[in-house]
Amino acid sequence: MIPGISARMRQLADDRVPFVHAVVVRAQFPTSVSAGDDAIVLPDGSIEGFVGGQCAQSSVRAAALGALRDGRTVLLRVLPEGEQDFPHSPGAQVVVNPCLSGGAMEIFLQPSLPPPVIWVVGDSPIAEALAELAGPLDFAVRRTADGQGPSGATAVVVSSHGRDETATIRAALDAGVGFVGLVASRRRGAAALAEMGLTEAERGRIHTPAGVEIGARTAHEIALSILAEIVAAIRTHGLTPAPAGSGPPSGDVTAASGDPVTGSGDLVPPSGTAGGAGAMAVDPVCGMTVTPGPDTPHLVTGGEHVWFCGPGCRSRYAGHIEQGGR
């Protein structure tokens, strides 16, 4: 492990930042990496550490962002075009990288995702039962008494018997929380929401009465039904955490204006969570799919951003433009 990587991983985990730990497990000469080399891939596509040159990094970045999206480990085989001699690995994800100069490699990608946060508002028996049952399901529970609000939460559940319900719901919606559950009867819940002047999109993020229909009667049964609805939203509908800071989440890739051939403007990479990162592009020279990131080679030509798997393809494309072959 590269010195400092383990400390950096602990820091990211403490700060609840998702990342992928990429470790080279097998490499074939003449690749520049060795077994044991490792790096961290962040949600914006940036790579800290070393798992190969620019071409290999493009493949690692794309696979790592995919691992962040689905939370699954990946054994990535990166092969140069025409490579046939690298040992077979059942179950591995294979990528043929046409710009790789030689030396196949296998890289193990392990995503580290912070547990989803549920902000439980209120001190009712249902709120207490929610806090009790959420822990064994690997949720991080946040309570009002902690002094923290909805920022960064995956779900907010309001069970305060009518106290400050609309203000709490408004705060959760403004923070970008995708699941807001209100524990109330159907009639009282509808009345509370009617006075809020919600947009259709905001109303779609609010669940009241919170929970799936299981015939629940006790506080723990109701808490179970609410947690089941949240788990379903995460597993089947792709519910992701709200942004940790203020403002809506962003998954756009933009770049400052620069030289029309070299594209020397600074790249602003995708930001936010695994669900919003990783817009894909196709290298027009070799046809490889790449994920734009802070260090991905690119050009700006005719007002369009063009992304490349490596500097070689970028140079060939720039030379083509300079010769008038648009």
Dist. CA 183–CA 256, nearest whole Å: 47
**49-75: pLDDT as tens digits:** 998 887 788 889 999 999 998 889 999
Dist. CA 99–CA 2, nearest whole Å: 26
Predicted confidence (pLDDT) at residue 267 exceeds the cutoff of 50: no
Dist. CA 222–CA 90, nearest whole Å: 44
Note the Cα 230 to chain centre separation in Å. 18
Predicted confidence (pLDDT) at residue 269 exceeds the cutoff of 50: no
Choose among 106, 65, 58: nearest CA to 86: 106
**207-250: pLDDT as tens digits:** 999 999 999 999 999 999 999 999 999 989 889 888 876 444 33
pLDDT band at 262 (very low <50, low <70, confident <90, very high): very low
**Can you tell me the mean pLDDT for 166-181?**
94
**Can you tell me the mean pLDDT for 161-190?**
93
The SS3 call for residue 69 is: helix
Asked if 277 and 44 touch (Cβ cutoff 8 Å), the reply is yes
**Domains defined for the chain, CATH in brackets:** 16-112 (no CATH), 117-237 (3.40.50.720), 254-322 (no CATH)
CA dihedral 249, 255, 256, 262 (to 10 degrees): 170
* Residue 86: per-residue pLDDT: 66
Phi, psi of 237 (to 5 degrees): -120, 0
Separation of first and last alpha carbons in the chain: 45
Cis peptide leading into residue 125 (ω within 30°) = no
Asked if 300 and 260 touch (Cβ cutoff 8 Å), the reply is yes
Q: Could you say which DSSP state residue 92 is in?
A: P
The SS3 call for residue 273 is: coil
The SS3 call for residue 322 is: helix
Q: Could you say which DSSP state residue 114 is in?
A: P
Dist. CA 20–CA 23, nearest whole Å: 10
pTM: 0.60
